[in-house]
Structure 1
């Protein structure tokens, strides 16, 4: 028996319940983990509210990131043993492999022995943001030295990971946030420039920064009207990678800008990396190297206790956080 978080109907944070259920032993190729910390992601709020890319049968668990100690291994598992300190790579389906619980089961290939220097909270805040940023900026965009890269929703865990990643390859990260309250914090976090989109002219600001070179790469989580000023500031042959959709407004297609600049507008899911074993191994090696060098350091916005999971989700939806929300178990 173990406590897990589930929801029996779609809705706001209040639908989340902590329940005690039987947990089956791990099957062949599986690992069971005694959880110490959980990472909270916006995808989980979307699943809970019924607007995610998965539609779960109810009641459903949820969660994409966890860190803890291996308690039991199934048959056929090699390289992992009870007592190992591990974190988990986000699974393709959080409905099949939910992370919100005291005891969780994952396929062994999704389990990583993380560097011993990481705290449980930091390990739980690691894989979703850095894998997302890596897949978009390194695997797809081939971001490199001297490239200007615009990062919207820059104070999110993915945004902050993207800033660190851009700096690690010599690119020039331009952070976009809604208002000026987070601008200095973004600069302190490594952004070369920061623009408050609700208070400044975004197109003019980006053109002033990038000059004639223009912005080659845009990593956007928002969509909506921001597409027009973003593409207007891009360089010929640039690429805009869309991984979110936070704006409730329609997203215009900037046809003549796309044509005249031969731009690429590309949708992206982190599943592209997670579901490809070779790409996942390359990503893990890149991220672990960045951790060891000190180039990568997850930013924790706030930590909640497991019993306060509803409050953690309310804080997520407040959009006040700077970095990752973590729950300790």
Structure 2
């Protein structure tokens, strides 16, 4: 293996705030992997809403300067020793962790997965976090059964499109929401049974019309503050509201007695509590890439941005100007 550079390109924040706090650097130190870690030279980085939560301060960074980013694909260039789960230098891998917005990341080996042969470049980075999220939502947060009515907000987003495809495969009746005719069509092509353009349609009225006044068995809501009340009002008696994201802001405190109106179950899950162990992570990742290898999930990539244009990428994501997954190229 060729000698490693001492510095690298990356993006840091030294305070929380808008896109102006994102600082593109060309002289960040290349980390050394500790025991139980591998050093990955990243090829493509995934952008996720959780990155904006840490940037804005909705979630608190552990320290400053702080490198954003939770996933990437690349090649192991150095191993730190200890338990590495069979991973070795030269392996093409995808990983979940921290500090992805950089050319190199030292990652705990228990959240690194060797990319199966036949998976093209970019797909693993586009698939991992949102794909595992979608799988855990339909299998554990609410175990979807054939025939269930399920409402998916932001159905043309990265996670939304994967949820719609998985729900179709299960045989659920999926109602998606989207903001433009183009996004409505995208969600419909992905397999949504019905798609509501919330910019011009009354979502609650349409949901009740489609379900004969009963409401849906489950709502999968990654939007948060802007949709929480609507989601709660759309759930059927004994239904489940899964609030898994804060794209519009955090859900404010509410009276728990509101859940008794229809015996509603409310869950606020996080992916990492479903994949806490190595066995859980491996099982979910193997399942996800099995779908990919069989062509049963389309991991739609909206665009690949140069890392130096990270502010534009965040602005596009938060401005709802995207459909599908956003990636970063750390070499540019």
User: Counterparts of 1:123-134 in structure 2 under 5 Å?
Assistant: 123-134=124-135
CA RMSD after TM alignment: 2.2
Alpha-carbon distance in 2 for matches of 1:110, 1:51: 24
**1:136 maps onto 2:137 in alignment:** yes
1:168 deviation in Å? Answer: 2.2
| Correspondence for 1:12 among 6, 13, 18 | 18
- Report the CA distance shift for 1:125/1:12 in structure 2 as closer, same or farther (over 3 A): same
2:3: which partner in 1? none
Residues 100-115 of structure 1 mapped to structure 2, 5 A cutoff: 100-115=101-116
The counterpart of 1:66, out of the listed 50, 72, 80, is: 72
Alignment of 1:233-272 (within 5 A): 233-247=234-248, 253=254, 258-272=259-273
Work out whether 1:222 is the aligned partner of 2:223. Answer: yes
Q: Distance in 2 between matches of 1:110 and 1:151?
A: 28
Deviation at 1:253, TM superposition (A): 5.0
* Contact kept in structure 2, 1:148 and 1:171, CA below 8 Å: yes
1:148-167 correspondence to structure 2 within 5 Å: 148-167=149-168
For residues 257 and 178 of structure 1, the distance between their equivalents in structure 2, rounded to whole angstroms, comes to 28
Residue 31 (structure 1) aligns with: 38
Task: Report Cα offsets for 1:94-133 as digits up to 9, x if no partner.
Answer: 3xxx111111110111111112332332211111111111
Query: Is contact 1:228-1:254 (8 Å) kept?
Result: no
Higher mean C-alpha displacement, 258-267 vs 208-217: 208-217
Aligned length: 322
Residues 292, 210 of structure 1: alpha-carbon distance in 2 compared, 3 angstrom cutoff: farther
Report the alpha carbon displacement of residue 256 of structure 1 after superposing the two structures with TM.
7.5
Q: Decide whether the 8 Å contact of 2:46 with 2:125 is kept in 1.
A: yes
Q: Unmatched 5+ residue regions in structure 1?
A: none
Matches within 5 A, 1:312-323: 312-323=313-324
CA distance in 1, matches of 2:107, 2:321: 31
Q: Residue deviations 1:295-319, cap 9 Å, x none?
A: 2221111111222222222222221
1:56 and 2:62 correspond = yes
Give 1:7 deviation, angstroms.
1.6
Paired residue secondary structure (1:125): helix
CA distance change for structure 1 residues 257 and 314 in 2, over 3 Å: closer, same or farther? closer
1-structure distance, mates of 2:245, 2:178: 15
TM-score calculated relative to the size of structure 2: 0.89
Please report how far the alpha carbon of residue 134 of structure 1 lies from its aligned counterpart in structure 2 after TM superposition.
Answer: 1.8
Moved more, 114-123 or 155-164: 114-123
Structure 1 residue 274 displacement after superposition? 2.9
- Higher mean alpha-carbon deviation, 248-257 vs 151-160, is at 248-257
